[in-house]
Amino acid sequence: MADNIILGGREYTLTFEDNFTGDSIDKTKWEYCPESRRQDIGGRWSNSMTEVKDGNLILKASIREDGTPISGAIRSAGRFTQAYGYFECRMKWHKTTGFWGAFWMMCGNVGKVDGSAVSGAEIDIIESGERARDGVNHAIHWDGYGEAHKSVSKSIYGTNQYDGGWHTYALQWTESEYIFYIDGEETWRTSEPGICNQPGYLKLTAEFGSWAKPIVPEELPDCVRVDWVRVYRRV
């Protein structure tokens, strides 16, 4: 891939890339997400559910013998952050429902409650929680995760994202707007919550929750595959 690309007549230069070669995550770029409880049905992230194999990151999802749903997740916290730019990932989705994969960012102080996303935002570049309805989702969250929590989102349906092939998802984050892309086509443009001006780290995750219901135990284990991740900064 070229180190420089042109977007909207402006030049962008490569600042981060991982093609997931080798047999484990590159710990200069990523760490495992904490093995914590996730969402509303008691699922947990587990380091054992993340694998690098055949040039792909594999985020697995399964159910332990005790009934606990577990899944894989990594993040670039403490290793790579960036505000503004072009963030891109090539992914292949899971076959079953009950969990979702995501390429997303945690930027600034998401927990700060001030009515604006300027000081902090969760930016969900893509999520597959709408798998049961053949949909994918973009979203922005701010003002923490309590009673003050706010979000805006856009769901895209009927575009064959679950056809078993590879698809590319991207965010162009500028000082004035967020622009989301699927397979090179713009799918959502917004500046509604105010544009975050703080750097964020990357997350690649799979997790269980009622949003993606139903869980179909006989169709597990399943996984989300990631071919590569690239990030660019405007020159």
DSSP letters spanning the chain? --SEEEETTEEEEEEEEE---SSS--TTT-EEPP--EETTTTEEE-GGGEEEETTEEEEEEEE-TTS-EEE-EEE-TTT--BSSEEEEEEEE--SSSSEEEEEEEEEE-TT--SS-SSSEEEEEEEE-TTGGGTEEEEEEEES-SSTT-EEEEEEEESS-TTSSS-EEEEEEE-SS-EEEEETTEEEEEE-TT----S-EEEEEEEEE-GGGPPP-GGG-SEEEEEEEEEEEEE-
What would the mean pLDDT of 82-105 be, rounded to a whole number?
Answer: 98
Strands 37-38 and 43-45: antiparallel
Q: Single out the residue of 60, 87, 35, 79 nearest to residue 196, CA to CA.
A: 87
Confidence of residue 1 (pLDDT cuts 50, 70, 90): low
Strands 43-45 and 167-173: unpaired
What would the mean pLDDT of 94-113 be, rounded to a whole number?
Answer: 97
Question: pLDDT at residue 21 above 70?
Answer: yes
What would the mean pLDDT of 117-134 be, rounded to a whole number?
Answer: 97
Is pTM beyond 0.95 here?
yes
Query: What confidence tens digit (pLDDT) does each residue in 27-81 have?
Result: 999 999 999 999 999 999 999 999 999 999 999 999 999 999 999 999 999 999 9
Residue in the structure block whose two tokens are 């071919």: 227
Domains of the chain by residue range: 15-234
What would the mean pLDDT of 101-113 be, rounded to a whole number?
Answer: 97
State which fold the 15-234 domain adopts.
Jelly Rolls (2.60.120)
Q: Is the bond preceding 221 in cis, omega lying within 30 degrees of 0?
A: yes
Looking at residue 81, what is its pLDDT? 98
Strands 69-71 and 37-38: unpaired
Q: Single out the residue of 181, 138, 166, 163 nearest to residue 225, CA to CA.
A: 166
Q: Are 105 and 89 in contact, with CB atoms under 8 Å apart? A: no
Q: Are 179 and 171 in contact, with CB atoms under 8 Å apart? A: yes
Question: pLDDT at residue 101 above 80?
Answer: yes
What would the mean pLDDT of 215-223 be, rounded to a whole number?
Answer: 97
What would the mean pLDDT of 182-193 be, rounded to a whole number?
Answer: 96
Q: Are 71 and 39 in contact, with CB atoms under 8 Å apart? A: no
Question: pLDDT at residue 8 above 90?
Answer: no
Question: pLDDT at residue 2 above 80?
Answer: no
Question: pLDDT at residue 15 above 90?
Answer: yes
